[in-house]
């Protein structure tokens, strides 16, 4: 019984991992049971079975992609002192993720945001919640830096969150569409300049 549960978990993980890679290039709505079944050498029933429906499979794929981003950027930054040091760590990790992330088509969340922003439904709601949590995390790091006196207290934290997010999305476009290898370094410099009010060159 225990072995069967472990095998089922491994099968589910394998399907989700393949789904994340495919959805990164084809989009969440381009993710089909048939394409995954063919890729994995499984039946369609075997692919959809662990999830119950295509929407539940898509939701699991989205959740995995968000988790990968969180573990690459947010989680490791929490080991750094709160305030500007942690905010710098977030920026460094974020730009590193953009430069060498796990998805063949760049930032999954950015691509999914463009795909889902005008498509109401469960997937859009899940992505909305994930992006809202990320922006709240960013805002917390900005306000912590302000409370520590590391950056000017008079600057609007929500404005800075929007600026940082916009820079990251622009860098993803520059990398993926324009093939600009300097985009991550430029994004890091501009992000640091945005939060410190300087030129972003300080380490």
138-187 pLDDT per residue, tens: 999 999 999 999 998 888 999 999 999 999 999 999 999 999 999 999 99
What Cα–Cα distance (Å) separates residue 120 from each residue in 50, 64, 66, 68, 109? 25, 21, 19, 24, 16
| Nearest-angstrom CA–CA distance, 26 and 49 | 22
Instruction: With beta carbons less than 8 A apart as the criterion, state whether 177 and 114 touch.
Output: no
Confidence of residue 3 (pLDDT cuts 50, 70, 90): low
The structure's pTM equals: 0.89
* Structural tokens at position 193: 């300049």
Q: What does pLDDT average to over the chain? A: 92
- Does residue 201 carry a pLDDT above 60? no
- Identify whether the C-beta of residue 187 lies closer than 8 Å to the C-beta of residue 142: no
Note the pLDDT tens digit of each residue in 14-73. 999 999 999 998 999 999 999 899 999 999 999 999 998 999 999 999 999 999 999 999
pLDDT at position 22 is 92
Rounded (10°) angle between helices 108-116 and 122-147: 130
Which pLDDT band, with edges at 50, 70 and 90, does 202 fall under? very low
What's the chain's length in residues?
203
3-state secondary structure the chain: CHHHHHHHHHHHHHHHHHHHHHHHHHCCCCCCHHHHHHHHCCCHHHHHCCCCCHHHHHHHHHHHHHHHHHHHHHHHHCCCCCCHHHHHHHHHHHHHHHHHCCCCCCCHHHHHHHHHCCCCCHHHHHHHHHHHHHHHHHHHHHHHHHHCCCCCCCCCHHHHHHHHHHHHHHHHHHHHCCCCCCHHHHHHHHHHHHHHCCCCCCC
Q: pLDDT digit string (tens) for 63-108?
A: 999 999 999 999 999 999 999 999 999 999 999 999 988 887 788 9
CA dihedral sign, ordered 4, 9, 11, 12? positive
What pLDDT was estimated at residue 197? 83
pLDDT value of position 199: 61
CA contacts within 13 A on the Cβ side of 76: 14
Q: Predicted confidence band at 2 (pLDDT cuts at 50, 70, 90)?
A: low
């Amino acid at each position: 019984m225990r072995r069967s549960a472990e095998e089922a978990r491994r099968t589910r993980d394998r399907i989700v991992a393949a789904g994340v890679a495919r959805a990164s290039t084809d989009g969440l709505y381009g993710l089909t049971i048939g394409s995954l079944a063919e890729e994995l050498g499984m039946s369609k029933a075997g692919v959809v079975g662990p999830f119950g429906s295509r929407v539940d499979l898509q939701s699991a794929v989205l959740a995995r992609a968000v988790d990968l981003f969180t573990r690459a950027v947010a989680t490791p930054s929490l080991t750094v002192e709160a305030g500007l040091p942690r905010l710098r760590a977030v920026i460094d990790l974020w730009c590193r993720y953009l430069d060498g992330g796990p998805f063949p088509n760049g930032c999954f969340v950015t691509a999914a945001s463009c795909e889902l922003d005008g498509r109401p439904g469960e997937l859009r709601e899940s992505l909305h919640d994930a992006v809202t949590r990320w922006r709240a995390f960013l805002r917390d790091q900005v306000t912590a830096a302000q409370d520590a006196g590391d950056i000017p207290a008079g600057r609007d934290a929500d404005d800075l969150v929007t600026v940082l997010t916009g820079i990251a999305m622009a860098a993803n476009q520059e990398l993926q569409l324009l093939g600009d290898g300097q985009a991550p370094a430029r994004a890091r410099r501009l992000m640091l300049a945005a939060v410190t009010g300087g030129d972003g060159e300080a380490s």
